[in-house]
Amino acid sequence: MRIAYLDCFSGISGDMFVGSLLDAGLPFEQLETVLSGLKLSGYRISAISEERNHIFGIRFSVTLEKADQAARHLDDIREILENSDLPLPVIQKSIQIFENLAKVEGDVHHISPNEVHFHEVGAIDSILDIVATVAGMDLLGIEKVFASRIPVGSGIISSAHGRIPIPSPATIALLKDIPIYSSGQDAEMVTPTGAALIASLCSSFGPMPPMVIEEVGYGVGSRRLSDRPNLLRILIGKDADKETTETVVILEANLDDMSPELSGYLMENLFEAGARDVSFCPVYMKKNRPGIQVQVIGEPEDRERLTAIIFRESTTLGVRYSYGQRAVLRRETVAVDSPWGTMNVKKVIDREGKAVLLPEYEECKRIARENNLPLRDVYAWAGGLSGTG
C-alpha cells in the first residue's frame, strides 16, 4: 500500500499541501491538465521553488485575473464538480470535503449546510487548492494518509464575517477530535481549507507509521515565521508491514480505592463508547496497596470521550495517555449457514494471505439462547469452520 505522512510542524494550508505533493514528484503539467477539467477560467497556477530557513520546497499559488471572491453555496460547488471532466474518484472526494465543510459552517452559524455561503473557501483559489490536493494524491497513487499532531496559532484575523479569533470557528470545529497544540505563534497556522483537507483525508494523527520512504516533499507557506521554517513536509512511501498498521491512543489509570463492583460497569461503558480494548491488571501501588491498572486502547479521535468516561465512572484523579502504532490482521464479518440459521463469524486474513473463520462470542451466545443449547456446543461447531476458511 502506498501511504503518506504529513509532518505539520508549521501547520497546514491548501496551497502548502499542493506544494508538498509537487515537490514530492507530482508533475506540474499533469496537474494543470487535470485542473483544466474543472472548466473554470480567469486564473493561472504556478509552482515556484522557494526557501524557508535554507530548506527549499515548492510554493503553489493561484493568480486570479480578477478578484473572484464570490460567495458560493454548496450546490454551486457541487454543480461545478459534477459538470467537470475530472476523474470520478476526485469528484466524489472533493464533494465530500465541501459537504463536511458545509456541515461545520452550518453548525457554527445555526443554518442548514445548503444555506451556507462559502466566502474564502468558495473562491476559485480555494476550490483549486482542494481539487488539486485530491487530484494530486490520486495521480501519485496515495491510498492512505497519516498526519502528525497539528500546531495552531492565536490572535485575530479579518474575514468575510468581520474580525474573528484564530483558529477561526470553522477551523477549530473541523479540528475536533484531532490532537492539536499551541504553536506559540500569533498567526494563522491552520487555514479552513487546510483543516478541511486533513479532517477528510487523514486516517489518524500522531507518530509516523512504519513505512519505507520513497519521496519527500516540502510545501512552502506564504509568510515567514520567527521560530521555524514555514513548510509542510510530506513523506510518501510504502507500508513497512504486511499487516495493516494503525495509530491508536493508549489510556491508563491506576486505582486503589474503587469497589470491584464498579469495574465491570466502567468496562462496559468504555466498550460502548468505541474502545478497541479494555483490560484490568493487578498492580501494587504506593504504601504497598493492591490495586488495578486500567488500560484502554481506542481511536485517537475518541481520546476525550474515553477519558471522560474513566473520570466519570472511576475514582481516578488522572489519566495518562500516549499514541502508538499497532499491527493488525485484516478482518471482516461474514455470514455463514449454520444448523440454526445464518451466523455471523469473523473472517481474518493471516500474514500468508490465508483466510481463517473465527466464532464471535456475542453471536454464539445469541444462538445458544435462542435454541436452548449449551454455549460450548455452538462454539464447537463454529470452531470447526477454521479449516474451511
Secondary structure letter of residue 121 according to DSSP: T
In whole angstroms, give the CA distance from residue 174 to residue 32.
28
pLDDT computed for residue 388 by the predictor: 47
User: Quick one: pLDDT at residue 60?
Assistant: 96
Give the structural domain span for 258: 245-325
Q: Is the pLDDT of residue 121 over 70?
A: no
Kindly tell me if the per-residue pLDDT of 119 is higher than 60: no
b/e burial code for range 34-54 (CB count within 10 A of at least 16 → b): bbebbeeeebebebeebebee
Domain containing 285 — which CATH number? 3.30.70.1380
Co-location of 313 and 195 in the same domain: no
CATH number for 348 = 3.10.20.300
Q: How far apart are the first and last CA of the chain?
A: 24
Which residues is 205 bridged to in the sheet?
A: 147
- Count of structural domains, the chain: 3
Task: Give me the pLDDT at residue 293, please.
Answer: 95
What pLDDT sits at residue 324?
84
Asked which of 100-114, 340-354, 362-376 is least confident by mean pLDDT, the reply is 100-114
pLDDT recorded at residue 71: 67
Angle at 174 between CA 45 and CA 325, to 5 degrees: 100
Return the SS3 of 88: helix
* Domain C-terminal end among 177, 205, 240: 240
pLDDT at residue 389, rounded to an integer: 45
Of 275, 302, 325, at which residue does a domain stop? Answer: 325
pTM of the model: 0.65
316 and 335 housed in the same domain: no
Contacts of residue 268, defined as CB under 8 A and 6 or more positions apart, other chains included, come to none
**pLDDT tens digits, 131-147:** 999 999 999 999 999 99
- In the numeric block, which cell numbers belong to residue 219? 510545501
pLDDT band at 160, cuts 50/70/90?
low
Residue 310, CA atoms < 13 Å, CB-side half-sphere: 28
Residues near 12 by beta carbon (within 8 Å), at least 6 away in sequence: 6, 150, 189, 190, 191, 194, 195, 197, 198, 232
Is 298 found in the same domain as 347?
no
Q: What pLDDT shows up at residue 58?
A: 97
Identify whether residues 205 and 162 lie together within a single domain: yes
The answer to whether 250 touches 227, Cβ cutoff 8 Å, is no
- Same domain flag for 219 and 111: yes
Of 205, 240, 275, the domain-final residue? 240
- Whether residue 159 sits in one domain with residue 277: no
Parallel/antiparallel/unpaired status of strands 330-338 and 341-349:
antiparallel
User: Tens of pLDDT along 25-49?
Assistant: 999 999 999 999 998 888 889 999 9
Is the pLDDT at 120 greater than 80? The verdict is no
**Letter string b/e over residues 203-215, b meaning 16 or more CB atoms within 10 A of that residue's CB:** ebbbeebebeeee
253 and 234 co-located in one domain: no
Task: For 239-279, write each residue's pLDDT tens digit.
Answer: 876 556 778 899 999 998 888 889 999 999 999 999 999 99
Check whether 233 has a pLDDT greater than 80. Answer: yes
138 with 272, same domain?
Answer: no
- Look at 304 and 102; give whichever has higher pLDDT: 304
Does residue 337 share a domain with residue 313? no
**325: Cα separation from own chain's centroid:** 15
Write out pLDDT tens, residues 170-193. 899 899 889 999 998 888 999 989
> Based on the domain organization, do 182 and 249 belong to the same domain?
no
Cell of 20: 508538498
Say how far apart CA 50 and CA 220 lie, in whole Å.
Answer: 7
Mean of pLDDT over the chain: 88
Q: Give the span between the Cα atoms of 47 and 136, in whole angstroms.
A: 14
Is 117's pLDDT higher than 70? Answer: no
Same domain flag for 39 and 64:
yes
Predicted confidence band of residue 333 (pLDDT cuts 50, 70, 90): confident
Residues in the chain: 389
Q: CA-CA distance, 196 to 170, in Å (whole number)?
A: 9
**52 near 229, Cβ under 8 Å?**
yes
Residue 221 has pLDDT above 70, yes or no: yes
Q: Residue 201: is its pLDDT beyond 90?
A: yes
- Which residue is listed with cell 452559524? 109
* Calpha distance 126→292 (Å, rounded): 52
pLDDT at 129: 92
Same domain for 225 and 249, yes or no, is: no
Residue that the C-alpha cell 483543516 belongs to: 195
